[in-house]
């Protein structure tokens, strides 16, 4: 974790792994969240990410508490269309990459600078392209 990546006033985006680890109170992600609060950054995820994170073993109270502390961005038609464009530009198929594309479209629409915490940096770097989004592997 480096302080220089997260600039005051920007946006920190959690993908499914980032959100799952926040729910589990992972030390690295908790550090990023504390840094975001200290730097007055918005912490967001896509509504579709909530669906991706839910599974039978997740503690619902921890899920609800974590989600209450972040902004859940809706998947609007413009976001979905932008995600489809990102898939088309990269030649990736929506069946496998739809959720990543929606997350990237959400990140690209967020106030910058934008930092995304992910366990899958390669795919997100492809989808976000040169949109000024910093991708951090967690």
pLDDT for the residue numbered 3: 46
Fold classified for 11-137 = Rossmann fold (3.40.50)
Helix (H, G, I), strand (E, B) or coil at 113: coil
The H-assigned helical ranges of the chain are: 16-23, 27-38, 47-53, 60-68, 77-90, 94-109, 121-128
Q: Which of 7-11, 90-94, 123-127 has the highest mean pLDDT?
A: 123-127
> Quick one: average pLDDT of 91-118?
95
Domain boundaries, the chain: 11-137
pLDDT for the residue numbered 6: 46
Q: Contact 57/31 with Cβ under 8 angstroms? A: no
Give the predicted TM-score (pTM) of the model.
0.91
pLDDT for the residue numbered 8: 62
94 — pLDDT class (breaks 50, 70, 90): confident
Q: Contact 138/119 with Cβ under 8 angstroms? A: yes
Rounded CA gap, 39 and 110, in Å?
Answer: 16
Rounded CA gap, 61 and 66, in Å?
Answer: 9
């Amino acid at each position: 974790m480096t302080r220089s990546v997260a600039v005051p006033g920007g946006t920190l985006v959690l993908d499914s792994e980032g959100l799952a680890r926040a729910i589990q109170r992972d030390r690295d992600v908790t550090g990023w969240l504390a840094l975001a609060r200290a730097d007055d950054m918005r912490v967001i995820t896509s509504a579709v990410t909530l669906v991706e994170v839910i599974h039978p073993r997740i503690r619902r109270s921890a899920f609800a508490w974590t989600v209450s502390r972040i902004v859940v961005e809706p998947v609007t038609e413009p976001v979905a269309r932008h995600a489809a464009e990102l898939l088309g530009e990269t030649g990736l198929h929506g069946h496998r990459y739809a959720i990543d594309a929606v997350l990237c479209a959400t990140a690209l629409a967020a106030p910058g600078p934008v930092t995304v915490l992910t366990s899958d940096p390669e795919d997100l770097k492809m989808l976000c392209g040169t949109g000024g989004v910093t991708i951090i592997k967690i």
